[in-house]
Amino acid sequence: MSDTRYTEDHEYIKVEGNTGTVGISDYAQNQLGDVVFVDVPEVGAKFAKGDEVAVVESVKAASEIYAPVSGTVTAVNEKLADEPGLVNSSPDGDGWFFKIEIDDAGELDGLMNEDAYKAHADA
């Protein structure tokens, strides 16, 4: 069973065991508009919580994607190179950005659950 947490910057992390799948929320993709390019990190790259990890560009703007937790990138979504629109059509499904091996599960405690995130996004 996965546990999904959210950052104030609208990234999500779906946690399964010691691995998290990271992307942007439906709210974030909606704010961005049509995504035209996604720059994902390299497998093996290490990041601290809050580091800039990826960039998503839309017809409106470019936005940085930050690491919701510290860890090492174990996989990236290769489909986004040819199909960046997956971020719009399936932000929490096929439009994920990367997977990260979580260094400190305690960092998840500082993230919002779905109800808290919905309240934050609606604010």
Could you give the percent of the chain with pLDDT greater than 70?
A: 98
What pTM was computed for the model? 0.96
pLDDT at 123: 83
Q: Which CATH architecture has domain 3-104?
A: Beta Barrel (2.40)
Q: Is the pLDDT of residue 116 over 80?
A: yes
Q: Is the pLDDT of residue 102 over 60?
A: yes
Could you give the percent of the chain with pLDDT greater than 90?
A: 97
**16 token code pair:** 């399964």
Q: Is the pLDDT of residue 32 over 90?
A: yes
